[in-house]
């Protein structure tokens, strides 16, 4: 064993009680092999020393209608009521099932039983899928093999425990070990069985321009599903959910957070049964999903990430944040300082040429901006959004002298250069579509719906991906490009692929996502130094799958800082600040200062015409912002985030704070949304070292961490009566 963790071996199997225990620094997850080799779930929660946990599998008594297995010598055991590790369909468990396989006989009865297991150091990668990773000595993995005796389908349940994080990742490998083809009709990635319904569900819902609204509601009997069937994640629901005790707050109480590393049709299904226990499934949405496995073929589900916290939602979020930067974002930019950019979209939309972009760069340079991003409109005949997608060659009428020449001019000013793509899309008015109309997704005999004047390319096809890769490769290899924004501005309708036989059309949606991942993998492997930013009309594909390839994602097309407060607060439940694309734009009533305070709690950049959309006074503000960006970069991006006052809970104010990992520095941020009726304002800070002495950099006054956290800071000096409309301030504390 090479396990290097400070804790004892995190995964153990108690031979006597047949119990698997997965221990993190603060949590225990346990299940057992019961009679007849049923895999029965036992526990997920605060860390436990015990291994004899089998009594925890009894959650309520046998009902008279409950089916049972006569071979099990236990009057209280029924698949109807026991919590299962990977529940299956049709063999006595009437709740929602994680696995349903239609076998050669045509029925969908599925019943997997334990066969063997192995525990090993490290973490396997998942073929074709984004997934968390670990260096040597950082993780341990358990693989449990269970087989359905009739179809021969083998399910390998994969669990990884990480050394430094209260995190367990899960996925499932399904293999047809039988003699006849089978069809997977449900193949979820994880199942969590909680012994109570006395929980609140927290999730993120929204829509374009208004993503990531946080909703918290008490669980009720029945099935609740958070899902997408858009072919992409969508902004309607994020593949994140948390279950909190009703008394759990930001900084106290138990919470179970779950996130899915996937960018397509997902489902997070929660069933509260009549005994008041809760089953949560996370996986590929079974609607429109059918996957055929020939004998010997296998299927890997995407990965689910489970985080347990006994210190509230805040600690859960901080675990997700650091864990994703350490173990999910594979880009070399994950922890590298990103260049401060200016993006041309809101500054010019399609109306630009090389001289205008150079003029932007000239002005931006004076403000200290480090990179110019040329957004949509540089290629084909793309002078508006009606045409051009798919033709990824430079429009030399706009960029006279070509792209290299423009980049040379921008570089000569000392700025890096970034470019926009929407690789999955094609406009009917494009050379690509005229040459290959069959490459646009459409079901046989049907027209395709149009959305934003465009169609989606069939990314399940290698020839389509090869074409787009080749087009991108030519531009990216011949020009000095430092950044790509990968956009995606519509969802999939009339889903089918001309290359799949009828019995495999149910594989379309997942194959589409695999195709996108393949193309992203090829681009990021060919150009590892390019910083990739993901985007889907803002945050319509804001998920952990994308973070694997792109360390930052444009959070929303809405750049108003007051609106952004709820969007970014919501996203921060699961995703790190370093992942949230956020810009100062001209599109707001709030002051430039406030736009900066909010955007700085993201990747930070500008999206306005620097020549005409800033007054002299605002330029001074921008210069200060740029200085602050550099000063606070590490603190904001790699520190701990504390959400102090949520904009959804307080109609007047939003407060948040960052603390450096060594607790020697803290940054408090406040946005005043409306004039608060109470002009006496004081706030308790969080996450400080109670014994350290912190100096308020502005006033020079010193406080112990204990005083700042329990007595609070008096913020009444600020003139709330006159500056309430979207104003803001930050306060920096440094240990003496």
* Residues contributing to the site for ligand DGJ (CB under 6 A): 345, 375-376, 420, 487, 489, 535, 537-538, 554, 557
Cβ proximity to ligand DGJ: between 465 and 583 the closer is 583
Question: Contact, 112 vs 146, CB < 8 A?
Answer: yes
* Distance separating alpha carbons of residues 153 and 181, to the nearest angstrom: 10
181 Cβ contact list (under 8 Å, min separation 6):
104, 292, 293, 294, 295
Cβ proximity to ligand DGJ: between 164 and 557 the closer is 557
Determine whether 4 is exposed, middle or buried from the number of CB atoms within 10 Å of its CB (0-12, 13-18, 19+): exposed
Q: What percent of the chain is helix, strand and coil (3-state, nearest 5)?
A: 20, 30, 45
Q: Is 557 tagged catalytic?
A: yes
Q: Rg for the chain (alpha carbons), in Å? A: 27
Cβ proximity to ligand DGJ: between 460 and 537 the closer is 537
Q: Is 487 tagged catalytic?
A: yes
Number of CB atoms found within 10 A of residue 209's CB: 17
Q: Of the residues 487, 628, 640, 727, which is catalytic?
A: 487
Cβ proximity to ligand DGJ: between 143 and 429 the closer is 429
CB of 575 to ligand DGJ, least distance (A): 17
Give the dihedral sign, CA 24/30/33/38.
negative
CB of 209 to ligand DGJ, least distance (A): 10
* Distance separating alpha carbons of residues 141 and 417, to the nearest angstrom: 42
Cβ proximity to ligand DGJ: between 537 and 681 the closer is 537
* Distance separating alpha carbons of residues 162 and 168, to the nearest angstrom: 7
CB of 345 to ligand DGJ, least distance (A): 4
Determine whether 664 is exposed, middle or buried from the number of CB atoms within 10 Å of its CB (0-12, 13-18, 19+): middle
* Distance separating alpha carbons of residues 596 and 197, to the nearest angstrom: 42
Residue written as token pair 């080749």: 470
Give the dihedral sign, CA 250/251/255/261.
positive
Cβ proximity to ligand DGJ: between 452 and 692 the closer is 452
CB of 265 to ligand DGJ, least distance (A): 21
214 Cβ contact list (under 8 Å, min separation 6):
202, 203, 204, 566, 569, 570, 573, 646, 648
CB of 535 to ligand DGJ, least distance (A): 5
CB of 88 to ligand DGJ, least distance (A): 41
Q: Where are the beta strands (DSSP E) in 105-180?
A: 112-121, 139-148, 153-162, 167-176
The alpha-helical segments, DSSP class H, found in 345-421 are: 345-348, 354-367, 402-412
CB of 375 to ligand DGJ, least distance (A): 5
Using CB positions, name the residue nearest to ligand DGJ. 376
**How many angstroms separate the most distant Cα atoms in the chain?**
83
Cβ proximity to ligand DGJ: between 140 and 344 the closer is 344
CB of 347 to ligand DGJ, least distance (A): 11
Rounded to 5°, the CA angle 655-661-662 comes to: 115
* Distance separating alpha carbons of residues 62 and 43, to the nearest angstrom: 20
| Three-state SS at 457 | strand
* Distance separating alpha carbons of residues 286 and 270, to the nearest angstrom: 14
Residue 410, token pair as written in the block: 């921008």
Q: Of the residues 269, 557, 560, 727, which is catalytic?
A: 557
Residue 374, token pair as written in the block: 């040329």
* Distance separating alpha carbons of residues 36 and 77, to the nearest angstrom: 11
CB of 269 to ligand DGJ, least distance (A): 30
Cβ proximity to ligand DGJ: between 363 and 376 the closer is 376
Question: Contact, 321 vs 575, CB < 8 A?
Answer: yes
Cβ proximity to ligand DGJ: between 167 and 598 the closer is 598
What is the dihedral angle through the alpha carbons of 3, 9, 15, 16, rounded to the nearest 10 degrees? 160
CB of 255 to ligand DGJ, least distance (A): 32
Question: Contact, 579 vs 338, CB < 8 A?
Answer: no
φ and ψ of 269, to 5 deg: -105, 130
Cβ proximity to ligand DGJ: between 140 and 588 the closer is 588
* Distance separating alpha carbons of residues 530 and 379, to the nearest angstrom: 20
Catalytic residues: 487, 557
């Amino acid at each position: 064993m090479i396990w290097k963790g400070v804790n004892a071996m995190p995964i153990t199997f108690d031979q006597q009680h047949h119990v698997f225990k997965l221990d993190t620094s603060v949590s225990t997850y346990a299940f057992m092999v019961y009679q007849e080799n049923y895999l029965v779930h036992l526990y997920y929660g605060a860390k436990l020393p015990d291994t004899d946990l089998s009594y925890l599998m009894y959650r309520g008594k046998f009902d008279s209608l409950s089916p049972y297995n006569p071979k099990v010598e236990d009057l209280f055991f029924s698949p109807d009521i026991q919590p299962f590790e990977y529940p299956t369909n049709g063999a006595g468990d009437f709740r929602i099932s994680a696995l349903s396989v239609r076998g050669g006989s045509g029925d969908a009865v599925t019943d997997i039983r334990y066969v063997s297991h192995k525990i090993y150091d490290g973490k396997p990668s998942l073929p074709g899928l984004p997934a968390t990773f670990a260096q040597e000595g950082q993780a341990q993995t358990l693989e449990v093999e269970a087989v359905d005796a009739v179809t021969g389908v083998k399910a390998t349940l994969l669990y990884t425990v990480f050394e430094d994080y209260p995190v367990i990742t899960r996925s499932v490998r399904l293999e047809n070990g039988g003699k006849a083809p089978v069809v997977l009709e449900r193949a979820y990635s994880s199942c969590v069985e909680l012994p109570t319904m006395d929980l609140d569900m927290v999730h993120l819902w929204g829509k374009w321009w208004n993503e990531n609204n946080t909703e918290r509601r008490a669980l009720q009997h029945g099935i609740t599903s958070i899902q997408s069937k858009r072919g992409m994640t969508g902004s309607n629901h994020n593949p994140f959910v948390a279950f909190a005790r009703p008394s759990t707050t930001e900084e106290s109480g138990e919470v179970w957070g779950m996130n899915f590393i996937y960018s397509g049709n997902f489902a997070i299904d929660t069933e509260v049964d009549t005994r008041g226990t809760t089953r949560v499934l996370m996986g590929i949405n079974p609607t429109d999903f059918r996957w055929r496995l020939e004998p010997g073929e296998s299927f890997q589900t995407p990965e689910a990430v489970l985080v347990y916290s006994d210190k509230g939602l805040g600690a859960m979020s901080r675990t997700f944040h650091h864990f994703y930067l350490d173990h999910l974002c594979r880009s070399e930019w994950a922890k590298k300082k990103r260049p401060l950019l200016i993006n041309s979209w809101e500054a010019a939309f399609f109306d630009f040429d090389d001289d205008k972009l150079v003029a932007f760069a000239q002005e931006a340079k004076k403000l200290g901006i480090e990179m110019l991003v040329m957004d949509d409109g540089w290629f084909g005949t793309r002078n508006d959004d009606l045409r051009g997608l798919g033709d990824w060659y430079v429009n030399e009428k706009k960029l006279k002298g070509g792209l290299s020449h423009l980049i040379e001019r921008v570089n000569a000013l000392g700025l890096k250069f970034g470019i926009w793509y929407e690789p999955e899309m094609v406009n009917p008015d494009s050379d690509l579509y005229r040459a290959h109309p069959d490459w646009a997704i459409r079901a046989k005999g049907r027209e395709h719906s149009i959305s934003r004047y465009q169609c989606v390319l069939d990314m399940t096809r290698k020839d389509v991906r090869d074409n787009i890769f080749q087009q991108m490769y030519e531009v990216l290899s011949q020009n000095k490009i430092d950044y790509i924004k990968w956009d995606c501005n519509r969802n999939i309708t009339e889903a089918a692929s001309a290359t799949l036989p009828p019995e495999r059309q149910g594989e379309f949606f997942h194959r589409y996502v695999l195709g996108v991942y393949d193309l992203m993998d090829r681009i990021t492997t060919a150009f590892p130094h390019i910083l990739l930013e993901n985007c889907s009309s803002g945050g319509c594909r804001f998920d952990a799958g994308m973070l694997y390839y792109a360390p930052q994602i444009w959070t929303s097309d809405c750049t108003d800082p007051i609106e952004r407060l709820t969007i970014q607060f919501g996203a921060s439940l699961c995703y790190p600040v370093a992942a949230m694309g956020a810009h100062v734009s001209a599109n707001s009533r709030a002051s430039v200062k406030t736009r900066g305070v909010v955007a700085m709690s993201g990747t930070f950049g500008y999206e306005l015409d620097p020549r005409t959309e800033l007054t002299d006074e605002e330029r001074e503000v921008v210069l200060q912002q740029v200085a602050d960006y550099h000063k606070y970069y590490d603190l904001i991006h790699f520190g701990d985030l504390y959400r102090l006052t949520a904009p959804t809970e307080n109609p007047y104010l939003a407060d948040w704070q960052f603390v450096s990992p060594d607790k020697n520095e803290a940054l408090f941020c406040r946005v005043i949304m409306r004039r608060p009726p109470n002009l006496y304002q004081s706030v308790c800070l969080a996450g400080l070292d109670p014994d350290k002495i912190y100096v308020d950099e502005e006033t020079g006054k010193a406080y112990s961490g204990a005083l700042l956290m329990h007595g609070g800071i008096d913020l009444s000096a600020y003139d709330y009566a006159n500056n309430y409309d979207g104003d803001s301030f930050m306060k920096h504390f440094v240990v003496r």
